């Protein structure tokens, strides 16, 4: 199945810094979603951006979408140790039957 | 709202035995449930899509006779790993599609860590 590529694979920052993760995908989408996963747990939905949107905010999260480049970014501002987790982008592909295709993920570590 | 409860959270079984994983939608009706597996430090790979009252649709490369999916009601979907082997050890996660305005939202179970010894 087609899968988005995320970079970086791993990111380590200090508390208070911003964290940026990027996601690229291959085909046209209905929407793109970002999820968070704590180690060994299920996924938590963070934010959804539709194909006709370019930017979206939710609290300390900012997501951008560039459909011409088939890429998205997730910015976490003023990071906290509790933000330590894996972050995945997931695409709802056009004509994909509303199945989500997940990216490779970014492991974020926020150190005190 | 829109909570999916997944059980068990962890299971260890002997090689050759079968294991059943349940996912229940607690406060909504899940007409469609997705089953994923995830290897350590890797992404989620979709295994199959189940629709209530019909046969599941399996992704390419997933053995339907090995991974039996049943979605007999609007609130319960099960995945049975039959004749499990050590290579089936993985993290299995279910997800339900939740209708909402013009798009679908997805809610995930907490996952099941399967270890086959």
Q: What angle do CA A60, A48, A108 make, to 5 degrees?
A: 50
- Give contacts of A3 with chain B, Cβ < 8 Å: 43
Residue B102 has pLDDT above 60, yes or no: no
- Give contacts of A44 with chain B, Cβ < 8 Å: 108
Omega into B89 within 30° of 0, i.e. cis? no
Secondary structure class of A78 (helix, strand, coil)? coil
In a 13 Å sphere around the CA of B22, the CA atoms on its Cβ side amount to 11
Q: What is the pLDDT of residue B31?
A: 85
Say which residues have a Cβ less than 8 Å from residue B52's Cβ, sequence separation at least 6: B30, B31, B32, B71, B72, B73, B74
Is the CB of residue A74 less than 8 Å from the CB of residue A11? no
pLDDT digits (tens, 9 = 90+) for B33-90: 999 999 988 899 999 999 888 889 999 999 999 999 999 888 999 999 999 999 999 9
Residue whose entry in the numeric block shows the structure tokens 């294991």 = B19
Residue A1 has pLDDT above 70, yes or no: no
User: Would an 8 Å CB–CB cutoff place B91 in contact with chain A?
Assistant: yes
């Amino acid at each position: 199945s087609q899968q988005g590529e995320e970079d970086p694979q791993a990111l380590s920052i200090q508390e208070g810094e911003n964290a940026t993760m990027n996601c690229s995908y291959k085909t046209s989408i209905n929407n793109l979603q970002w999820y968070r996963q704590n180690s060994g747990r299920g996924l938590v939905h963070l934010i959804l951006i539709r194909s006709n949107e370019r930017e979206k905010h939710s609290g300390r999260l900012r997501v951008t979408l560039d459909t011409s480049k088939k890429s998205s970014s997730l910015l976490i501002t003023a990071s906290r140790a509790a933000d330590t987790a894996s972050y995945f982008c997931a695409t709802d592909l056009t004509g994909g039957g509303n199945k989500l295709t997940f990216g490779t993920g970014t492991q974020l570590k926020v150190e005190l | 709202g829109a909570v999916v409860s997944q059980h068990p959270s962890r299971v260890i079984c002997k090689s050759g035995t079968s294991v059943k994983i349940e996912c229940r939608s607690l406060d909504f009706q899940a007409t469609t449930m997705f089953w994923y597996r995830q290897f350590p430090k890797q992404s989620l790979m979709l295994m199959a899509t189940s629709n209530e009252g019909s046969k599941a649709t399996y992704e390419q490369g997933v053995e339907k006779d090995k991974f039996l999916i049943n979605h007999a009601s609007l609130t319960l979907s099960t995945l049975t790993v039959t004749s499990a082997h050590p290579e089936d050890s993985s993290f299995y996660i279910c997800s339900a599609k939740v209708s909402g305005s013009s798009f679908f939202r997805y809610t995930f179970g907490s996952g099941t860590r399967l270890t086959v010894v």
